[in-house]
Amino acid sequence: MLQSLWYSDRFRSWIMQIALLGALLGLLYWIAGNTITNLAERGIRTGFDFLAHPARFPISESVVHYTPSDSFLWAFVVGVANTLWLSVITLVLATAGGLFLALAQLAKHPLLSRLAVGYVTLFRNIPLIVQLLFFYGLATSVFPAPRDAFEPLPGVFLSLRGVYAPGLVMGAGGGWVIAASIVLLLVTIWLGNRRFRDVSLVRRIPSFVGIWLVGTVIIGWLADVPLHLESPVLHGLNFRGGMYLSPEFAAIVVGLALYTTAFTGEIIRGGIEAVGKGQWEGGRALGLWDRQIMFRIILPQALRIIVPPMTSQYLSTVKNTTLAVAVGYPELGLVVNTVINQTGQALESIMVMLGVFLTVSLTVSLFMNWFNARIALVER
């Protein structure tokens, strides 16, 4: 029996893997114990008890409610929410901008295609941190005071204090309408994928968005939640009302979106050019216009080539949000720095930051891998 196990490749492989795993866990246990002992000898506190204590520092802006009397744990939640909000907006803008940039590069108009090539050359070869500092300097030094603010569009004002634009204001119960809208979106995607599997994803997305928007309006009407559009109005030395974007947030969104668009545009252009020219010729033989060929034949096939490198670009963009600390936007990195200065518990705060970014990156990877599997060709 023992002799047969000894000569079994599978048994020896399991033994080696268990031994390596045990050695790794032992090494981690030794490092953790050694670190705790050294920190205790130097009088440095360890543990996560501080998370329940009041933070007692302000956060300039947040997408969730926060006051200095809230706990350090809630301050971390605010940092995570700001990071996710920044990541989502940047990814949406960079994806849409990248598609436009790729189509511009492939256009037959010489001026448009060369401008697109120039854009890629300019933004891809300048360090991101330099671009962020440039846009922040632009936002805080070039624009005028609120009284003389630029108004590029009706109701949209650009000033030293930031960007002011019309915004939707919801009355009491608005949070429930938003939650119901998110549930409706998830249900729409789930039912749509089950009932319309044979329809291409490019054609399904506009239908999903339309159903979701109509459903959200109906939910808001049934809930009788007052909803109106509020425009900013100059009152005294500053604007009041409407939607407000701080100079820090505007600089990081513009800088990150423009920088990432240069990369997403190249990824999408490469995917489109990888589709055989015979597909174009086949579409023209069927009497389709170039626009119809692009969106009904070329892009669905190009998605299979675009998605894998786009996943890496999305992950890089999420991690690049940590550079927002350079312009003072309170994303997770800035909140962690402030917590370390307040409590001195750097190890725990860095571990929280590592865990959050690992979780976000793995979630993005899982979603993109699922999407890649959905659009992949299935060979019988």
Nearest to 210 by CA among 230, 225, 192, 227: 192
Q: Taking residues 82-102, what's their average pLDDT?
A: 93
- Per-residue pLDDT, 354: 93
Reported pTM:
0.80
Q: Is the pLDDT of residue 38 over 80?
A: yes
- pLDDT at site 73: 92
CA distances from 228 to 169, 170, 178 (A): 6, 7, 15
Alpha carbons 60 and 81: distance in angstroms, whole number: 14
Banded pLDDT at 81 (limits 50, 70, 90): very high
pLDDT at 202: 61
Two tokens, residue 17: 């893997």
102 exposure class (CB count in 10 Å sphere: 0-12, 13-18, 19+) = buried
- Residues 326-336 have a mean pLDDT of 90
Q: Which residue has the tokens 């030395």?
A: 237
Which of 70, 78, 139 lies closest to 334 in space, CA to CA?
78
Segment among 106-110, 216-220, 260-264 with least mean pLDDT: 216-220
**What's residue 197's pLDDT?**
65
The two structure tokens encoding residue 129? 């941190």
d(CA 378, CA 29): 45
Which of 126-135, 158-167, 282-291, 294-303 bottoms out in mean pLDDT, i.e. has the lowest? 158-167
Per the CB < 8 A criterion, the answer to whether 327 and 136 are in contact is yes
Distance CA 239, CA 1 (A): 84
Q: Which residues of 156-187 are buried (b: 16+ CB within 10 A; e: fewer)?
A: bbbbbbbbbbbeeeeeeebeebeebbeebbee
Residue 226 backbone phi and psi in degrees, to 5: -60, 130
pLDDT in tens, 291-309: 888 888 898 889 889 999 9
pLDDT at 378: 64
pLDDT at position 129 is 93
3-state secondary structure of 83: helix
Q: Tens digits of per-residue pLDDT, 208-247? A: 777 888 887 787 777 776 667 778 888 877 888 778 888 8
Instruction: Give the separation between CA 45 and CA 348, rounded to whole angstroms.
Output: 10
Residue 121 pLDDT level (bands cut at 50, 70, 90)? very high
Residue-wise DSSP of 102-157: HHHHHSS-HHHHHHHHHHHHHHHSS-HHHHHHHHHHHHHHTS--GGG-EEEETTEE
Average pLDDT over the chain, rounded to whole? 86
Report the alpha-carbon distance of residue 319 to residue 358 in Å, rounded. Answer: 10
If you search the block for the tokens 């675009």, which residue do you land on? 306
Sign of CA dihedral 114, 202, 258, 145: positive
Summarize the confidence of residues 344-364 as an average pLDDT: 91
Confidence band of 49 (pLDDT split at 50, 70, 90) = confident
pLDDT at 161: 83
Q: Which pLDDT belongs to residue 75?
A: 93
pLDDT confidence tier of residue 125, bands split at 50, 70 and 90? very high
14-23, 200-209, 239-248: least confidently modelled range: 200-209
Lowest mean pLDDT among 27-31, 47-51, 122-126: 47-51
What integer pLDDT is reported at residue 380 of this predicted model? 57
At residue 69, the pLDDT reads 92
Residue 348's closest CA among 339, 360, 338?
Answer: 339
Q: What is the mean pLDDT of residues 77-82?
A: 92
SS3 162: strand
Calpha distance 82→162 (Å, rounded): 17
Higher-confidence residue of 377 and 160: namely 160
Determine the pLDDT at residue 201.
63
For residue 41, the model assigns a pLDDT of: 84
Please say whether the dihedral angle defined by the alpha carbons of residues 271, 272, 273 and 276, taken in this order, is positive or negative: positive
